[in-house]
Structure 1
Amino acid sequence: MTGKTHITGGIAASLAFAQITNYDPVVLLISGVAGAILPDICHGGSKIGRTFPVLSKVVNKLFGHRTFTHSLLFLVLMAVLLNAFGVEEAVTAGLLVGMASHYVLDMATKNGIKLFFPLKMTVRFPVTTTTGGTVEYLVFAALSVLVVYFGYDIFLSYF
């Protein structure tokens, strides 16, 4: 999936999560977007890879693309590290929700992800799409509708 689809997915997931928690939706939203792009640090051409090119090259050299940073191991490691460093709970929750949305979206692509890294098994949905294709555009549109749906109540509560 492209960066804009991951960002929109992170927003939709964060806003949906805000509906069932008492966390500040703005904090969830901002950290959810960060979490939604974080797993692609392993890809130099991604939004985050271009922002941190040296780190991106190191991670890619060590693990490759869609392996460690797209795994449950990375998700759990991030949760442990964020908790150990005393990061606010809402920020941690948003980051993890955003990362999970990234994983789900990438499992819908033909290449899938190594969800159970270090096992080499690729996880993908039975029906997949090509990154940047027409189906991804439809997924982006559906996620945009979900953003409006989940964001409506939150928007109204601020005004």
Structure 2
Amino acid sequence: MTGKTHIIGGIAASLAFAQITNYEPVLLLGAGAVGAVIPDICHGGSKIGRTFPVVSKIINTLFGHRTFTHSLIFLLMAALLFNAFLPNEAIAAGLLVGMASHLVLDMATKNGIKLLFPFKVTVRFPITAKTGGTAEYVVFAMLSLLSVYFGLSAFDFNL
């Protein structure tokens, strides 16, 4: 999936998460959008990879793309770090929700992810989409609509 699809996925997921928590929706929304791009630090051409090229190169050299940073162990390590060092629970939760949304979206691609890293098992959904293809644009549109729906509910807009 492309960066914009990951970002809208993080937004939709964090706004959906806001429906079942008492966290501030604005914090979840912002953190969810940021968290949605974090797993692609392993790819030098990604939004975050271009922002932190040295870190991206090191991670890619050590692990490759869609392995460690796309795994449950990475999510667990991030959760521990966020909870230890971030002063706000809503921000930590939003980052994790955004990161989780990234993994789910990449499981919908042909290449899948190494969700159970260090095991070399590739995890993907039975039906996949090509990155940048028509199916991804449909996913993007659906996530955009979900973001509006959950956003209206999270911010108590009564239309």
TM-score by length of 1: 0.96
Aligned AA (2:74): F
> What pairs up with 1:1-159 in 2 under 5 angstroms?
1-156=1-156
- Whole-angstrom distance in 1 between the partners of 2:143 and 2:86: 32
1:113-133 C-alpha deviation (Å, 9 max, x unpaired) = 000000000000001111000
Gaps of 5+ in 2: none
Q: Quick one: distance in 2 between partners of 1:36 and 1:87?
A: 20
Task: Please state whether the residue corresponding to 1:145 is helix, strand or coil.
Answer: helix
In the TM superposition, residue 81 of structure 1 has moved relative to its aligned partner by: 1.1
Across the two proteins, how many residue pairs are aligned to each other? 157
Per the normalisation by structure 2, the TM-score is 0.96
1: CA distance, partners of 2:17 / 2:155: 15
For 1:148 and 1:63, the matched residues in 2 are separated by 36
In the aligned structure 2, how far is the partner of 1:151 from the partner of 1:102? 19
CA distance change for structure 1 residues 86 and 31 in 2, over 3 Å: closer, same or farther? closer
Q: Which amino acid aligns with 1:89?
A: E
What is the CA deviation profile of residues 10-67 of structure 1, one whole-angstrom value per residue up to 9, with x for unaligned ones?
Answer: 0000000001100000100111011100000000000000111111101100100000
Give the CA deviation at 1:85: 1.9
Q: Which runs of 5+ in 1 are unaligned?
A: none
Range with greater deviation from structure 2 (7-16 or 75-84):
75-84
Q: Matched residues, percent identical? A: 74
Distance 2:26 2:60 in 1: 31
Distance in structure 1 (CA, Å) of the matches to 2:86 and 2:109: 35
Aligned residue identity for 1:83: N
- Kept after mapping to 1: 8 A contact 2:10/2:102: yes
- Change in CA separation of 1:86 and 1:47 when aligned onto 2, cut-off 3 Å: closer
Offset, 1:86: 4.4
Q: Which moved more, 1:79-88 or 1:144-153?
A: 79-88
